[in-house]
């Protein structure tokens, strides 16, 4: 069909011509106002400068995919070619070209409401799908309504679309609120379940710890008690362990161990040490070589184990005291009259170079005297071991007359009023009483 070309000198004329053209071609209201807006943006600068534009249109005709390919572009709303559906009209296309013959540069076609193709020079083209009239039917709409009626129709369509979008927006907000409410409820449930699991985990581990930590031995002439405090209440396992038992000759043996590391791995290492020491002690190995011998035994299957250890032998009848040490904090002896001293013995722990106690320390526990054994978590909570040892002596003197079962916890409470360096803590006390 022969193209129709119109010279236009104003935006109002361009919009009016496009609206009537689109109406006659049977374009939907939305495509009509998109086409008018797009052409206005392309030609607006030219018309504002007083330069005319040319509007060329080709009436709707059946689509020719080959022609599209030759033109270098597709059609707005392209769909695969083929026969119309049952009873449906055949689809054609309306071709609209907008020429800017006097434009100093090519117009921008970015972001148009209805995408356009760029032809050589300063021409933009729109290929818009439209339904073709059936054979023998109406050849088009030759008597379009007035411009005001077309504008009202477009405005009504825009309002309907805005209302639909607002309704969709409100529905999405409601769905999002329900989703957020569900997610929040699920998050609360997960937090509650997580807390329940942490508590259950802690209870199981505390039961495990209790099983690994033997109760005080009951021996005439001695009172014994212990306090254990993990660095984290929800993870009560650690490398601080102790063991006490009575040797065949009636002597009480005490082992205090602090294995390096945290968690179950350090617990396993400390447990290996206490079991090995108990086995070797009951076999009769002398105290002076017991730490070195324990290192030899454990080195065969636990190559990464490192632990400090303190061994104590105490005669309940006479109060005779013997200590061996492997890199462990010194024991504290508080006399009945309040005088205190640290029982320091040099040595190296298990897994250290040249492990073993350099010598044995001998002393005597008289009635009313208190012996305090501990791990470094008790004295190093403020990072200064010497200050911690001084505070430990004050706390032990302050609480030495309390019931023995209360003494270790009371000492730990005094020592942990300020904790700058949390660590597992063992505080073990032995007091000699008249037999």
Helices (H), 133-252: 147-212
Q: What average pLDDT does the chain have?
A: 86
- pLDDT exceeds 90 at position 325: yes
Closest Cα to residue 397, out of 384, 387, 411, 386?
411
- For 134-183, the pLDDT digits (tens) are 554 444 455 567 767 777 777 777 777 777 888 888 888 888 888 888 89
Closest Cα to residue 423, out of 388, 391, 375?
375
State how beta strands 425-432 and 370-374 pair.
antiparallel
Half-sphere exposure of 137 (CA within 13 A, CB side): 9
Which residues neighbour 229 within 8 Å (Cβ) at sequence distance 6 or greater?
Answer: 377, 412, 416, 424, 425
Rg (the chain; Cα; Å): 47
- For 359-392, the pLDDT digits (tens) are 999 999 999 999 999 999 898 766 677 888 999 9
Terminal-to-terminal C-alpha distance of the chain: 127
- Specify the pLDDT at position 88: 42
- Concatenated DSSP letters for 136-147? TS-----S---H
Give the best-scoring range by mean pLDDT among 124-133, 135-144, 169-178, 397-406: 397-406
Looking at per-residue confidence, does 208 or 324 come out higher? 324
- Ramachandran angles phi, psi of 223, nearest 5°: -115, 135
% residues pLDDT > 70 (the chain) = 85
Looking at per-residue confidence, does 382 or 27 come out higher? 27
Share in percent of the chain as helix, strand, coil (round to 5): 40, 25, 35
- Specify the pLDDT at position 151: 73
Whether residue 278 contacts residue 245, with contact meaning beta carbons closer than 8 Å, is answered with yes
- Specify the pLDDT at position 327: 96
- pLDDT exceeds 50 at position 94: yes
């Amino acid at each position: 069909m022969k193209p129709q070309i119109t010279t236009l000198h104003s935006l109002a004329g361009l919009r009016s011509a496009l609206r009537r053209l689109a109406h006659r071609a049977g374009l939907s209201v939305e495509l009509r106002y998109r086409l008018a807006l797009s052409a206005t943006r392309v030609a607006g600068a030219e018309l504002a400068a007083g330069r005319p534009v040319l509007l060329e249109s080709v009436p709707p005709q059946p689509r020719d995919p080959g022609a599209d390919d030759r033109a270098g572009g597709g059609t707005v709303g392209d769909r695969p070619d083929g026969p119309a559906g049952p009873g449906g009209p055949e689809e054609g296309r309306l071709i609209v070209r907008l020429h800017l013959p006097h434009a100093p540069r090519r117009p921008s076609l970015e972001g148009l409401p209805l995408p356009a193709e760029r032809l050589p020079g300063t021409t933009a083209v729109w290929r818009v799908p439209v339904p073709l009239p059936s054979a023998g039917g109406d050849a088009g709409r030759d008597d379009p309504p007035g411009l005001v009626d077309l504008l009202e129709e477009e405005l009504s369509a825009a309002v309907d679309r805005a209302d639909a979008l607002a309704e969709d927006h409100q529905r999405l907000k409601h769905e999002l609120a329900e989703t957020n409410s569900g997610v929040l409820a699920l998050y609360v449930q997960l937090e509650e379940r997580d807390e329940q699991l942490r508590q259950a985990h802690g209870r199981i581990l505390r039961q495990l710890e209790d099983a690994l930590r033997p109760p005080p031995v009951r021996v005439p002439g001695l009172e014994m008690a212990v306090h254990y405090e993990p660095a984290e209440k929800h993870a009560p396992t650690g490398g601080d362990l102790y063991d006490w038992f009575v040797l065949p000759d009636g002597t009480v043996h005490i082992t205090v161990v602090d294995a390096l590391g945290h968690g179950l791995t350090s617990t396993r290492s400390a447990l290996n040490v206490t079991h090995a020491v108990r086995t070797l002690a009951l076999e009769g190995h002398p105290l002076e070589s017991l730490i070195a011998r324990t290192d030899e035994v454990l080195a065969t299957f636990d190559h990464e184990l490192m632990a400090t250890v303190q061994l104590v032998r105490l005669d309940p009848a006479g109060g005779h005291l013997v200590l061996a040490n492997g890199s462990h904090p010194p024991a504290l002896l508080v006399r009945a009259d309040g005088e205190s001293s640290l029982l320091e013995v040099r040595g190296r722990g298990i897994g250290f170079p040249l492990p073993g106690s350099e010598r044995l320390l001998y002393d005597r526990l008289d009635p009313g005297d208190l012996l305090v054994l501990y791990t470094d978590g008790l004295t190093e909570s403020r990072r200064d071991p010497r200050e911690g040892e001084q505070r430990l002596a004050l706390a032990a003197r302050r609480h030495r007359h309390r019931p023995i079962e209360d003494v270790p916890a009371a000492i730990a409470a005094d020592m942990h009023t300020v904790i700058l360096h949390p660590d597992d803590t063992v505080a073990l006390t032995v007091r000699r009483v008249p037999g």
